[in-house]
Amino acid sequence: MATTRSARAQRLENVALELFASQGFDETTVDELAVAGGVGRRTFFRYFPTKLDVVLGELDDGLAALVGALADQPGDDPVAAARAAFLAINHYAAAELPALRRRLGLIEDVPELAARATVRYRDWESALAADAAGRWGDDAGSLRAQVFGRAVVASMRAVFSAWHARPEADADALGALVEEAFDALSRGFASP
């Protein structure tokens, strides 16, 4: 997924993800991240307010991309719109996959990152609920819209977990999992 961060911020992020993978998240200091990225500590903090933001900042970029992609989808079917939006924002070049795998591993394995990611996922849920409510002519706070937003985010989290668990899986496999998840959402979970 293309990001809005500068080349320097992306370089710092890639170096940080490599260090976290080799040394551990808790064991890696901000000073080590700054040195490895070729910047000073203060410069590092200009790009990332906390060490957590190095890993989780992509979620904020992803949310902005999702909101834009949802706005581009016509029609009154929120499942179709969300499917198209998630497929649009989850195009990764082969060179981007190692960093994506490291990020996903950290979010799943580091409790503090998992907890902070969950807080950020609420914004994704709200964006999806608002989009669905708009398509249905409903209130974004309605139970139906809220269930939809949470179900879609939970499904996409499951997609990324399943993809991450398959080291051989490529970007096409990720797209196929997104399709499979939305097929399940559109059918519901009654017996086939």
User: 142-185, pLDDT tens digit by residue?
Assistant: 999 999 999 999 999 999 999 999 999 999 999 999 999 999 99
Reported as a pLDDT band with limits 50, 70 and 90, residue 78 is: very high
pLDDT given at position 8: 86
What's the CA gap between 57 and 133, in Å, rounded? 27
pLDDT digits (tens, 9 = 90+) for 118-138: 999 999 999 999 999 999 999
- The CATH code of the domain at 52-187 is 1.10.357.10
What's the CA gap between 89 and 180, in Å, rounded? 16
Q: What is the DSSP letter of 39?
A: S
Q: pLDDT at residue 2 above 60?
A: no
Q: pLDDT at residue 84 above 60?
A: yes
What would the two tokens of residue 130 be? 């608002």
Reported as a pLDDT band with limits 50, 70 and 90, residue 49 is: very high
Helical H segments across 38-110, by residue range: 41-47, 51-71, 78-89, 97-109
Q: Are 124 and 131 in contact (CB under 8 A)?
A: no
User: Among candidates 105, 81, 93, which has minimal Cα distance to 3?
Assistant: 93
Burial (CB count within 10 angstroms: exposed 0-12, middle 13-18, buried 19+), residue 1: middle
- Kindly report the average pLDDT of the chain as a whole number: 93
Number of Cβ within 10 Å of residue 115's Cβ equals 10
Q: pLDDT at residue 102 above 70?
A: yes
Q: Which pTM value belongs to this model?
A: 0.89
Backbone angles phi, psi at 94, to 5 degrees: -55, -35
